[in-house]
Amino acid sequence: MTKTSGHNRISITLFAGFFLVSVLMALTFAGCKQSSHTSDPRLQKLDEMLDSQMPTGTPKSRVLVYLNSQGFPVENTADPHVIAATVHHVDTETLKPATARVTFQFDAEDKLKSYQLTAQ
């Protein structure tokens, strides 16, 4: 084995290792990407709470049961595929309250498609 072929093997091995680590990191970060339903940082904890309780695909009936069980007032809307509610949450780290109007959208099968939060 010559010095040059030994260096080439090490270079190829290092490049392959670096490439593999880069791909794994990209996949990890892509998997951790969380879809946010608001750009308002004050509503981030509220968004996380709602997302954990009512992920995409949650039946409309379960969303209504959750909102009613928490005492969140639900508003009447003209669209049968939309629910609007006023939701309150206190961030346990900062003890700051947050209130938002949340608009839930449902598909033709009454499964949750998405929701948006607007600060109040």
Beta pairing partners, 113: none
Tell whether the model's pLDDT for residue 84 goes beyond 70.
Answer: yes
Order the strands of the 82-90 sheet from edge to edge: 74-75, 82-90, 97-106, 112-119
Beta pairing partners, 82: 105
- Where are the domains positioned within the chain? 1-33, 41-119
Tens digit of each residue's pLDDT (9 = 90 or more) over 10-61 = 667 655 555 554 544 444 444 444 457 778 888 988 999 999 999 999 999 9
The mean pLDDT of the chain is 81
Average pLDDT over residues 92-112: 93
Task: For residue 60, give both structure tokens.
Answer: 């409309």
Q: What is the pLDDT of residue 19?
A: 53
Average pLDDT over residues 78-96: 92
What pTM, to 2 d.p., does this model score? Answer: 0.68
Q: What is the pLDDT of residue 1?
A: 54
- Please name the fold of domain 41-119: Penicillin-binding protein 1b fold (3.30.2060)
Tell me the C-alpha to C-alpha distance, in Å, between residue 69 and each of 64, 72, 87. 8, 8, 12
User: Where do the DSSP E strands lie in the chain?
Assistant: 74-75, 82-90, 97-106, 112-119
